[in-house]
Amino acid sequence: MLALELGWSDERAESLRLAGLMHDVGKLAVPEAILLKPGPLDTAEYEVVKQHAARGAEIVSGVLSEEQVAWVRHHHERWDGTGYPAGIGGEQIPDGARLLAVADAWDVMTGARTYFPALTRGDAFEECRRWAGHQFAPEAVDALAALVREGHVDRLAAAHGQPPD
């Protein structure tokens, strides 16, 4: 939906959707004890988790296009350049990776996790807005804002059985 909001073709948006389905496949290489840890990760554990984006790109490289592989590899880069695995920022981050970053964060924030409860969609949106230009690409957050404003986010949540905010 973010890609379509930004004017992507249906075909390219579908490519992003497929990459999104596989974006965290690299977590298969992360020990369960780290993935399911109920509290904060220590520095060494976080370094292991950070490897999942590059590992995921390696895994999908035989089945996805080069562009999709780049989206998977760079979905944890940050607009301000402090992300991983390459520490690139701004326009250097592939456009699909910028959208996956917002979609992934949205999913994490609005879904209950072992280490914190789900945020309301309103609170999750405000968090995305707060981090636009730092963690997230501004155009990705603008696209999310349009989807929220147009009611698409609430309709999608309702279709997946989530209660209203």
The CATH number that applies at residue 98 is 1.10.3210.10
Q: What are phi and psi of 131, to 5 degrees?
A: -95, 5
Average confidence (pLDDT) over 94-118: 90
> What's the token pair of residue 37?
């840890």
| Res 38: pLDDT | 84
Among 55, 141, 51, smallest CA distance to 98 is for: 141
User: What residues does 132 pair with on adjacent strands?
Assistant: 136
Question: Domain tally for the chain?
Answer: 1
> Lowest-pLDDT range, 30-34, 81-85, 118-122, 139-143?
118-122
Supply angle C-alpha 102, 158, 135, rounded to 5.
10
> What's the token pair of residue 6?
């930004």
| Res 21: pLDDT | 97
Residue 109 placed within a domain = yes
| pLDDT value at 160 more than 90 | no
Residue 69 placed within a domain = yes
Please tell me whether the peptide bond between 164 and the residue prior to it is cis, using omega within 30 degrees of 0.
no
Residue 164 placed within a domain = no
Residue 25 placed within a domain = yes
Residue 165 placed within a domain = no
| pLDDT value at 142 more than 80 | yes
| Res 163: pLDDT | 78
DSSP symbol at 106: H
Provide the residue range defining the domain that includes 151.
2-159
> What is the C-alpha to C-alpha distance for residues 68 and 64, in angstroms, rounded to an integer?
6
> What is the C-alpha to C-alpha distance for residues 62 and 46, in angstroms, rounded to an integer?
27
* Model pLDDT for residues 37-59, shown as the tens digit of each residue: 988 899 999 999 999 999 999 99
| pLDDT value at 112 more than 80 | no
